[in-house]
Amino acid sequence: MKITTYFILFLSSLTFTSCESFLDVQPKDAVSDEVTIVDRTSAETAVRGIYSALRADGYYGYSFQILGFFSGDNIVYSGSQTVHQTLTNHSVRSDLAVLATVWNQIYHTINRANHVIAKVPTLPVTTGFTEENKNQLVGEAYFVRALAYFDLARTWGGVQLILEPTSSASSLPDLPRSTLQQTYEQVHLDLQRAEELLPATTNRIRATRQSARALLARYYLYQKNWDQAIRYASYLIEDQTNYGLVTPYHSFYSNNASNTRESVFELFYDVNNTNNQAGQWLASANGGTAWIRPSGTIFNLLTNPEIGGDRSSLVYRTATATEPNVLIGNLYYRVNRTDPAFLIRTAELYLIRAEALAERNGAGDLLAATTDLNAIRDRANVPLFTEPSNRAALILAIEQENRVEFALENHRWYDLIRTGRAQEVLNISDVNRLLLPIPFSQVAIDPNLTQNPGLD
């Protein structure tokens, strides 16, 4: 299958009154998008389809996550598909099946967003379907498309920028790969458009203006635009009515929690649309396989009171006769597989601003960065950082805090890549291994799609 999907699968048209019911997806109908986006109901159905694609197994529901998990040093694979270990030892080949799964699903998500972006603005305004309604739906599509291209860029480098909907092989665009800079610029343009269109409401499972601003803060951090990273992170940190660090640490995920003040954007799952990560994390006693596990190093960091503090709740060691001494991650723990996937948390905004302040290093910046870092440490009940004048130590402390704060979330690999620290920390000798190979199945059928240097 080529990088775009020829027919869009849409959810059956339903009317939902709450955010969760809007995303409470029922079985899909295989209907051409050209037929379905004709009014408010079909437009909302199309947007539900975008979120469905985003949370699918091939994307944030499982496969995309493991690319970052296993490439870093926080999470290890212990299952039967030992080929996944090539991600960990940075010898992955282009024929690794999960690469094609993720690539295709991300472009499938982009194509769904493209249909909404192209068609919803042309729909007539009617009673109950205002210009504001249309703007929200299109803004959500821009946000998800920006996230999708952001994920492609940081994983594979510059990619083909497909910005128009496709529905058949004959309509697929003939495009070369864009540069990494051009790909990131498209992310920027889409997020700016999303920020303009999305409502200034609080919603943690659908994109809002604050969701766009949070992702812009992350984008600017990757671009080393310290001023803008500080500005956009501050939008959410200062919105204390709606966003904040919940205490104790485990409150944002434990006891079936979701949509807490900690969460900026998370993916919603229910019993009809399960998060299949849980089965890979859970111990066998709870019906899982425990094929995805915390590494011994991160387990020791999390259970160290001076480093992990309350974040020790993320891990435990089994003590059963049938499964003794197995390290288990506790972020995905629900036996009914309804765990949210946390894409942006308020804690990230604090650490984005701390890092940007430390890197900018203007008058008062190191002290302000220390304050943000210590907000995270104080919430975790670990000793505060006390050397605000030591910039090098402060930057390393922020890196370490990112590692333990998001120990079981998909941050570590990408943090080391964007800071230029991956080769040193992970002992990667070949600089070409900082990108993943483009799937062989895609390179083989598309002459415009060149492989990343030094990879096969």
pLDDT tens string 30-48 = 344 545 899 999 999 999 9
Which amino acid, one-letter code, is at 13?
S
Mean pLDDT of 334-358: 97
pLDDT of residue 235: 98
Query: Domain spans of the chain?
Result: 9-198+434-445, 273-343
The answer to whether 46 touches 111, Cβ cutoff 8 Å, is no
Mean pLDDT of 331-337: 94
pLDDT of residue 159: 97
Confidence category of residue 204, pLDDT binned at 50, 70, 90: very high
- Tell me, letter by letter, the H, E, C secondary structure of the chain: CCCCCCCCEEECCCCCCCHHHHCCCCCEEECCHHHHCCCHHHHHHHHHHHHHHHCCCCCCCCHHHHHHHHHCCCEEECCCCHHHHHHHCCCCCCCCHHHHHHHHHHHHHHHHHHHHHHHHHHCCCECCECHHHHHHHHHHHHHHHHHHHHHHHHHHCCCCCCCCCCCCHHHCCCCCCCCHHHHHHHHHHHHHHHHHHCCCCCCCCCCCHHHHHHHHHHHHHHCCCHHHHHHHHHHHHCCCCCCCCCCCHHHHCCCCCCCCCCEEEEECCECCECCCHHHHHCCHHHCCCCCEEECHHHHHHHCCCCCCHHHHHHEEEEECCCCEEEEEECCCCCCCCCCCEEEEEHHHHHHHHHHHHHHHCCCCHHHHHHHHHHHHHHHHCCCCCCCCCCHHHHHHHHHHHHHHHCCCCCCHHHHHHHCCCHHHHHCCCCHHHHCCCCCHHHHHHCCCCCCCCCCC
Mean pLDDT of 234-238: 98
Q: How many residues does the chain have?
A: 456
Rounded mean pLDDT of the chain?
92
Nearest Cα to Cα of residue 233 among 225, 256, 1: 225
Confidence category of residue 321, pLDDT binned at 50, 70, 90: confident
pLDDT of residue 20: 67
Confidence category of residue 12, pLDDT binned at 50, 70, 90: very low
The answer to whether 323 touches 291, Cβ cutoff 8 Å, is no
Q: pLDDT by residue (tens digit) across 47-98?
A: 999 999 999 999 999 999 999 999 999 999 998 888 899 999 999 999 999 9
Is residue 401 over pLDDT 60?
yes
Q: Which fold has domain 9-198+434-445?
A: 1.25.40
Q: Cα(232)–Cα(356) distance, rounded to whole angstroms?
A: 11
Q: What pTM does this model have? A: 0.93
Confidence category of residue 24, pLDDT binned at 50, 70, 90: low
Confidence category of residue 4, pLDDT binned at 50, 70, 90: very low
What are phi and psi for residue 206, nearest 5 degrees?
-130, 150
Share of the chain above pLDDT 70, in %: 92
